[in-house]
Structure 1
Amino acid sequence: MPVAWRTTLQPLINEAQRYTTLDAELLQAVLADEPTYLMREVPPPDVLIVVLDRLSPAWAARMLAATAPDHADIYLAACDKSRTEAVRYELQRMPNPFPSALADALGRYLDNSAQAGRVAGVVS
């Protein structure tokens, strides 16, 4: 490859390589079909509420079902009536058992959103 091309493409190659890094624990859990999302820590209720409020009712319900089913009542108590009804409706439609790969992805999203909110000062 010509040097000029390499210089132009190297940042893209570096970025692409970030997505090829494997999390050994996650890979082992997936191969063992373990629900890794159960091992994740749920953020405090105030942080959870801020993250869930940014999602549509359907995605908030999925997030609750996947990562914090025991916190659904706490969240719904903080919502207005129409949102509560919409999230409850979606919760009733969730598959049982919840797909573990989706639950794990939502757990990571919740972790990342909570951390990003703390860094940005949006959540305490």
Structure 2
Amino acid sequence: MSRTRGQRALGQAGERLAAVILRQQGYHIHEHNFRCRAGEIDLVASDGEELVFIEVKTRRGSSWGPPEEALTCQKRRKLIEVASHYLELHEAYERPWRIDVVAIQLSSAGRLEAVRIHRGAVESED
């Protein structure tokens, strides 16, 4: 499925906003848009001793429901696969890690309405 330029811009703006908010919450951002053969993850960060992979979902207006609803089972599996690849690539097997989801809701006029951080929102099926 191809995303329009407007959708990409909205997603990028959401990722930038999420990075700012996460830094304010004490996260240390290491990478933006980590890509590998398995896919992409929006942010890689540390929260204390934990390595955190972060998926950002941004929605404008409420007609499509909350941003979290865009996180399908298939996307959850992909996030786990990308996180596993990152851990292998960076030899971080022993480090505790989790996948967080940041949901950003904007009004139809583009004003920030809500930011929700879901810690450990995606769990490995090990």
TM over 0.5: no
Higher strand share: 2
Q: Larger C-alpha radius of gyration, 1 or 2?
A: 1
Higher helix share: 1
Structure number with greater CO (CA < 8 Å, separation at least 6) is: 1
Q: TM-score, normalised by structure 1?
A: 0.26
